[in-house]
């Protein structure tokens, strides 16, 4: 099933403009996002060919099969509730059967989590982005040597610096575990091999075997040999660094460069568009609790666009959002909205819509 199939077979029930255009927050560069609903033919419904969703490559156009649409409304999905409540000028097509779908049937206290809860996941994402921008990571990856330290007087010293002071090389080192001392090893040195600059007489493997190693190496040590020092490998610190390194460079590879340049240009080190929609969701959550309706076109457009332009500091926005979240918690506690949609009634609506569609075709 493709978008073209929906058009050719006249399967569409609903098609609306969503996103920034529907919110009244569009800029000259904004895309037009379309969402809609379609009903599969009986043969597809009763076979293994059921298709829940059809979209284009960029997800700018998304159509949901009727059952999927009703199911997401039942779960108070923000995108679907917004889609059902866009202003008349954003509705491109509406089949009469859509009259069965009443917004009040679905609105419930679940919206506190789906709207406000989702908004806070966006804040966490913004915090993560802020951290990445403020703390960029070098492309040159560190090795376990950078996380290894030896005893130096009453303190410690990175093993690379210590070796440099002694004029020694890490490849002539040998390490052996010390029982009951986690990540602490006795360090030995093959002086004969070092002085001759030849074969490793004792066969020590070095602290790491190669620059790309992700762990230290252990060696077999002659029983009579004495350690020259003791090494602690901060294994947990290195493991966290490797995860941060992967996350950072994966983000660099996948980031939207236009969005990133806009983030850098306003100098506040947060994704302004992301934060704008965070506040939009929080405002909508409060409106649902107090007014029991979804207001898609935003009445506070100028305030939201100020956020998008980067006119607020990041910490200021976080504090404002946390205050709003507390207010929303109080509002939903007082609200007489249903705790969740009535599943029996929702199911009856879906069945009635299917029945109506079948009668029209027969």
17 and 117 in a single domain? The answer is no
Kindly report the number of other CB atoms within 10 A of residue 325's CB atom: 18
131 and 265 in a single domain? The answer is yes
Classify residue 197 as left (phi > 0), alpha (psi -120 to 50) or beta: left
Residue 214 inside a domain? The answer is yes
Residue 251 inside a domain? The answer is no
Kindly report the number of other CB atoms within 10 A of residue 182's CB atom: 10
Residue 119 inside a domain? The answer is yes
Question: Residue 198: what pLDDT?
Answer: 67
pTM greater than 0.75: no
Question: Residue 273: what pLDDT?
Answer: 84
162 and 129 in a single domain? The answer is no
Residue 83 inside a domain? The answer is yes
230 and 295 in a single domain? The answer is no
234 and 265 in a single domain? The answer is no
> Are the C-beta atoms of 151 and 229 separated by less than 8 Å?
yes
95 and 163 in a single domain? The answer is no
Question: Residue 58: what pLDDT?
Answer: 87
What is the residue whose two structure tokens read 């992301």?
Answer: 274
Residue 246 inside a domain? The answer is no
What's the total number of domains in the chain? 3
> How far is C-alpha 326 from the geometric centre of its chain's CA atoms?
23
Concatenated DSSP letters of 206-228: -SSSSTT-SS-------TTPPPS
Question: Residue 313: what pLDDT?
Answer: 86
> Are the C-beta atoms of 197 and 169 separated by less than 8 Å?
no
128 and 150 in a single domain? The answer is no
> Are the C-beta atoms of 106 and 76 separated by less than 8 Å?
yes
Classify residue 337 as left (phi > 0), alpha (psi -120 to 50) or beta: beta
Q: How far apart are CA 76 and CA 343, in angstroms?
A: 12
Concatenated DSSP letters of 151-211: EETTEEEEHHHHHHHHT--GGGEEEEE-TT-TTEEEEEE-HHHHHHTS--TT----SSSST
Q: How far apart are CA 5 and CA 11, in angstroms?
A: 8
Question: Residue 121: what pLDDT?
Answer: 77
Question: Residue 218: what pLDDT?
Answer: 96
Concatenated DSSP letters of 273-297: HHHHHHHHHHHHHHHHHHHSS---S
345 and 324 in a single domain? The answer is no
Residue 248 inside a domain? The answer is no
127 and 208 in a single domain? The answer is no
Pairing of strands 155-158, 91-94: unpaired
Domain that holds residue 322: 111-138+256-336
Which residues are CB-neighbours of 332 under 8 A, at least 6 positions away?
109, 111, 112, 285, 289
Within the chain, which residues score under 50 in pLDDT? none
326 and 278 in a single domain? The answer is yes
Q: Which of 180, 214, 240 is the last residue of a domain?
A: 240
Q: What's the token pair of residue 91?
A: 């509705």
Q: What's the token pair of residue 229?
A: 């020092």
Residue 245 inside a domain? The answer is no
Residue 36 inside a domain? The answer is yes
68 and 4 in a single domain? The answer is yes
230 and 286 in a single domain? The answer is no
Which residues are CB-neighbours of 284 under 8 A, at least 6 positions away?
78, 115, 294, 295
Question: Residue 120: what pLDDT?
Answer: 79
Strand order in the sheet with 155-158: 155-158, 148-152, 229-233, 184-189, 173-177
Question: Residue 128: what pLDDT?
Answer: 60
């Amino acid at each position: 099933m493709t978008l073209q199939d929906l058009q050719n077979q006249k399967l569409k029930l609903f098609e609306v403009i969503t996103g920034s255009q529907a919110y009244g927050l569009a800029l000259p560069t904004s895309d037009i996002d379309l969402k809609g609903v379609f009903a599969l033919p009986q043969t597809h419904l009763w076979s293994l060919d059921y298709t829940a969703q059809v979209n284009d490559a960029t997800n700018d156009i998304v159509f949901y099969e009727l059952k999927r649409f009703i199911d997401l409304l039942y779960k108070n999905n923000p995108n679907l509730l917004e889609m059902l409540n866009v202003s008349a000028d954003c509705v491109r097509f509406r089949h009469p059967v859509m009259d069965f779908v009443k917004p009040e049937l679905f609105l419930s206290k679940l919206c506190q989590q789906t709207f406000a809860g989702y908004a806070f996941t966006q804040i966490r994402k913004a915090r993560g982005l802020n951290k990445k921008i403020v703390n960029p990571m070098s492309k040159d990856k560190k090795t376990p040597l950078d996380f290894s330290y030896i005893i130096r007087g009453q303190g410690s010293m990175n093993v690379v610096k210590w070796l440099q002071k002694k004029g020694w090389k890490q490849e002539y080192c040998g390490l052996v575990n010390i029982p009951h001392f986690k990540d602490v090893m006795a360090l030995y040195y093959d002086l004969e091999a070092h002085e001759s600059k030849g074969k490793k007489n004792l066969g020590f493997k070095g602290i790491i075997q190669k620059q790309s190693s992700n762990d230290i190496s252990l060696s077999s040590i002659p029983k009579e040999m004495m350690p020259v020092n003791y090494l602690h490998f901060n294994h947990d610190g290195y493991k966290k660094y490797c995860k941060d390194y992967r996350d950072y460079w994966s983000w660099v590879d996948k980031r939207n460069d236009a969005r990133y340049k806009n983030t850098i240009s306003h100098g506040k080190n947060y994704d302004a568009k992301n934060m704008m929609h965070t506040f939009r969701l929080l405002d909508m959550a409060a409106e649902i609790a107090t007014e029991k309706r979804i207001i898609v076109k935003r009445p506070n457009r100028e305030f939201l666009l100020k956020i998008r332009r980067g006119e607020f500091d990041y910490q200021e926005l976080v504090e404002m959002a946390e205050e709003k979240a507390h207010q929303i918690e109080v509002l939903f506690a007082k609200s007489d909205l249903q705790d969740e949609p009535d599943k029996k009634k929702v199911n009856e609506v879906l069945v009635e819509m299917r029945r109506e569609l079948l009668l029209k075709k027969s």
